[in-house]
Structure 1
Amino acid sequence: MRTPTHPDGTILLFAPHPDDETLGCGGYLAKRLDEGRTVFVVVLTMGEKLFSKVLNIFEHPSPGEVCAIRRDETIRATGILGLAKENIIFLDYEDGSLADQVDTVVERIVPILQEKNPVEVLCTSEHEGHSDHRAACQIVRRACERVGTGILFRNYITSLRAGLSPENLPGTVEVVDIRKYLPLKRQALAQFRAHLDILSPRQPQPIATNFDNYLDPEERFLVTRDYAFPATGAREKWRGAPRV
């Protein structure tokens, strides 16, 4: 397991839902921001079905209210990690819909990649349990292929499908030591009150009791494919660098 030495340049982080960016790589995000890197977070869906899908609750809070709550939580959480509010882009697609509109979302993302010109892109992987997470990987990968120059692509991990672990995934797994940033990540995760609090009179208990399983001192990233090209335009496969 290895961790790359990153070049200077913009990082673009795609989150299928408001919170995935903090759950999967909040420590990495804080680390890169602390190093002075420019980071943009793109949240693909509104996450508005958290209560309706998980708890069958459609009012108090309504999906619209859940969307507003989760948007505010993400702004606060990433702000704790060091991200400026203006560096978050909310695309507001319907929760659970990404697999049904891959081409549409690709067309929306390509101009963002062209405008921000990132040297590094992060997203969830095709090995995740949630369909939006798998579709997000497909969407972002296709968009990177369209732009196709100078982009290093890697996947962060939130919740893999049953039976999978970082150790048995194909490809190279990078390990990033985030213990210096764990207090910040813990504080950021505490902002997700829609998961941790009882918000509805029909709710018997919180959706989650804690986020301790996301507070490992190391975050792992799967390298399955990259889009890194040298100045000559010939394809150059990334091989990795020493663990940090």
Structure 2
Amino acid sequence: METMADLDARKLVVVFAPHPDDEVIATGGTICRHREAGDRVIIVFATDGSESHAAVLGIRTDPSPTELALIRQREAIAAAAALGVPADDVVFLHRQDTQLANEAGELAAGIEEVFQKYRGVSTVYLPDPDRELNADHRMTGQTVLARVRAAGLTPRLLKYVVWDRDVERAFQFENRLDAPAQIDDAEEVERVDIRHHHRQKLEAMSKHRTQVELFSASQTRTVIPRELKNRIERQTVETFRVHEWGF
């Protein structure tokens, strides 16, 4: 298993999450390792997470999407704190959940602002723009790649996948973009051992109460399905593909 050699030096790291909770699912243990090494970690949320109950469960009241957006922002800050990231290092772009494909310009502007502010970034974690199935995830990944290049930055880019076929099936919810014509399967894979930070990751996940509990009286199941919960609870490694810069 590869070690995190890039954690040896103190660095500025930016984690992009399409929705509040993706940061924990994909990178929770890795964030803990960065913080333990003294690195500064900025967590950027692309969407407000307002549609989780409406889209997945068909619930539009108690909570309403507007109420849910505010609740999930507080949850995201609490989860970040559990990972060792202070509230001042949590950024919300406030794009509408499930609608990133229709807010491409606003998303790009928000991400560009992040890279202008944090130009010293050495490592970026992002959704894999090719392998993610969910449209918000793919749009976030695509836009991060485009804007980091436009900013003239060349940080290390580590791509993750949350929304694969198994997760999509378990959620019983589909929101896709067209798949890429070709995927590079030769990319280097980095595996991060999170055994020593697994409990901390689970603690952070528990802060996303709207997603892991029966938050609304109308719910008969949690937003995050049991299959994904089981995966997170068993997980001892977080896996990333290293983006190859092509100039």
Equivalent in the alignment of 1:9: 11
Q: Are 1:211 and 2:215 an aligned pair?
A: no
State the Cα distance separating 1:170 from its structure 2 match. 4.5
State the Cα distance separating 1:5 from its structure 2 match. 2.0
Summarize deviations over 1:134-181 as a string: whole Å, max 9, x none: 110100000111112341111122222459xxxx95511100111110
Q: Are 1:30 and 2:32 an aligned pair?
A: yes
- Name the CA distance, whole Å, in 1 between partners of 2:10 and 2:197: 20
List gaps (5 residues or longer) in structure 1. Answer: 228-234, 236-244
Equivalent in the alignment of 2:103: 101
State the Cα distance separating 1:8 from its structure 2 match. 3.3
Shift in alpha-carbon separation, 1:121–1:151, aligned structure 2, 3 A: same
> What amino acid maps onto 1:152 in structure 2?
R
> What amino acid maps onto 1:98 in structure 2?
L
Equivalent in the alignment of 2:210: 194
Q: Are 1:123 and 2:141 an aligned pair?
A: no
Structure 1 stretches of 4+ with a deviation exceeding 6 A read none
> What amino acid maps onto 1:77 in structure 2?
A
Structure 1 residues 1-244: aligned runs within 5 Å: 2-6=2-6, 7-117=9-119, 118-126=121-129, 127-161=131-165, 169-207=185-223, 208-209=225-226, 211-215=229-233, 216-226=235-245
> What amino acid maps onto 2:196 in structure 1?
K
Identical aligned pairs, as a percentage?
28
- Name the CA distance, whole Å, in 1 between partners of 2:186 and 2:165: 14
Shift in alpha-carbon separation, 1:186–1:21, aligned structure 2, 3 A: same
Contact 2:107 2:143 in 1 (8 A): yes
RMSD after superposition? 2.2
Equivalent in the alignment of 1:239: none
State the Cα distance separating 1:201 from its structure 2 match. 2.7
Equivalent in the alignment of 1:240: none
Contact 1:47 1:70 in 2 (8 A): yes
Shift in alpha-carbon separation, 1:204–1:158, aligned structure 2, 3 A: same
Contact 2:156 2:242 in 1 (8 A): no
Contact 2:25 2:232 in 1 (8 A): yes
TM-score, normalised to structure 2, is 0.84
Contact 2:10 2:38 in 1 (8 A): no
> What amino acid maps onto 1:179 in structure 2?
R
- Name the CA distance, whole Å, in 2 between partners of 1:62 and 1:101: 21
> What amino acid maps onto 1:225 in structure 2?
E
Contact 2:75 2:207 in 1 (8 A): yes
Contact 2:95 2:103 in 1 (8 A): no
Could you say what secondary structure the match of 2:216 adopts? coil
Could you say what secondary structure the match of 1:47 adopts? coil
TM-score, normalised to structure 1, is 0.85
Equivalent in the alignment of 2:173: none
